Amino acid sequence: MAKMTKADIIEAVYEKVGGFSKKEAADIVETVFDTIKQTLENGEKIKISGFGNFVVREKKARIGRNPQTGEEITISARRVLTFKPSQVLKNALNGGEPVN
Amino acid sequence: MPTTKSDLIDDISERLRLPKGKAELIVNCIFDEMTRALQQDERIEIRGFGSFEVRSYKAYEGRNPRTGETVKVDPKKLPFFKVGKELRERINGEGDGGEGARPNSAKQARSQEPRADWHTGRGERADERDDEPDLGEPARGSSSHHGGFTPA
């Protein structure tokens, strides 16, 4: 199955938005993801309407188990990032209108 | 820090000194493109950020947990996101910051790359951002600040 990478997104911005060079398009896309990352790094969520919400959740420390050895280990407190797709995106994946 | 798409658009417009309308086109283009890929069952991998994939589910008999009633659930596809290594580490305060930051130390000051002026070569507004008051919508003139970019 085909795979989309950042390069494809840069290409799309270059072609569909237009008005700048490929190098500039690459910097722009980099900045967009960088901004999102910085926000999440601060523990804040990002809500992209029509796509979904990225939410940072705090997990408490808990006792886990090595499934191979049965040994108990403490899993330290950590933050995890979850993505909750919007209804629009879910519809789009299930026969909704194609995005153009 | 942006938390909605329109905040993100404002932020991009400032950082890149682009008209807001242009920043909006860019942000929309990126997420439309990603949606399109997922619609075609394509996997998306954005290095440093994470990956998305579509998982397909068969139809099954579910139950309304409140009423106990049986309901038929149609086959469906759902997108899944897996956080990338760099972002996971940054969220946990690892990586470049050392091990100091624990979860909860929410707002560490970080050095913000002064990349706002990458296309003009100027670089004077590196530090306006960190102590921006948290007032929701700081009234930003929508068209007052953009120097560079006018579409050809």
Do A33 and A80 belong to one domain?
no
Do A83 and A61 belong to one domain?
yes
Contact list, A92 vs chain B (CB under 8 Å): 35, 38-39
Nearest neighbour of B151 by CB, restricted to A19, A39, A81: A19
**pLDDT of A51 strictly over 80:** yes
- Contact state of A47 with B3 under an 8 Å Cβ cutoff: yes
Query: Got the DSSP string for B41-99?
Result: T-EEEETTTEEEEEEEE--EEEE-TTT--EEEEPPEEEEEEEE-HHHHHHHTT-GGGTT
Do A76 and A37 belong to one domain?
no
Cross-strand partners of B55: B78
**Mean of the per-residue pLDDT values of chain A:** 93
B104: left (phi over 0), alpha (psi -120 to 50) or beta: left
Do A32 and A63 belong to one domain?
no
Contact list, B32 vs chain A (CB under 8 Å): 99-100
Q: Nearest CA of chain B to the CA of A69: how many Å?
A: 26
Q: Nearest CA of chain B to the CA of A100: how many Å?
A: 7
Do A71 and A28 belong to one domain?
no
What pLDDT sits at residue B2?
75
Averages of pLDDT over each 10 residues, chain B, 152 residues: 91 95 97 96 96 95 91 94 95 64 42 42 39 40 44 44
Do A67 and A100 belong to one domain?
yes
Contact list, A46 vs chain B (CB under 8 Å): 2-4, 8
What ipTM was estimated for this complex? Answer: 0.90
Q: Nearest CA of chain B to the CA of A94: how many Å?
A: 6
Do A49 and A20 belong to one domain?
no
Work out the pLDDT band at A1, boundaries 50, 70, 90. low
What pLDDT sits at residue A96?
72
Search chain B and give the residue with CA nearest A10: B30
CATH value at residue A80: 4.10.520.10
Beta-carbon neighbour count of residue B139 at 10 Å?
6
Do A4 and A50 belong to one domain?
no
Q: Nearest CA of chain A to the CA of B112: how many Å?
A: 9
Contact list, A24 vs chain B (CB under 8 Å): 119
Q: How many domains does chain A have?
A: 2
Mutation site, A51, A54, A62, A86, interface B, largest B CB count within 10 A: A51
**pLDDT of A63 strictly over 90:** yes
Domain that holds residue A4: 1-42
- Give per-residue pLDDT as tens, A65-94: 999 998 999 999 999 999 999 999 999 999
Report the distance separating Cα A43 and Cα B5, nearest Å. Answer: 17
Do A99 and A51 belong to one domain?
yes
- Contact state of B26 with A17 under an 8 Å Cβ cutoff: yes
Do A58 and A97 belong to one domain?
yes
Nearest neighbour of A38 by CB, restricted to B1, B54, B83: B1
Q: Is B40 within 8 Å of B79 (Cβ atoms)?
A: no
- Contact state of B113 with A32 under an 8 Å Cβ cutoff: no
Do A90 and A50 belong to one domain?
yes
Do A17 and A55 belong to one domain?
no
The H or E element that residue A94 is part of is none
- Contact state of A37 with B87 under an 8 Å Cβ cutoff: yes
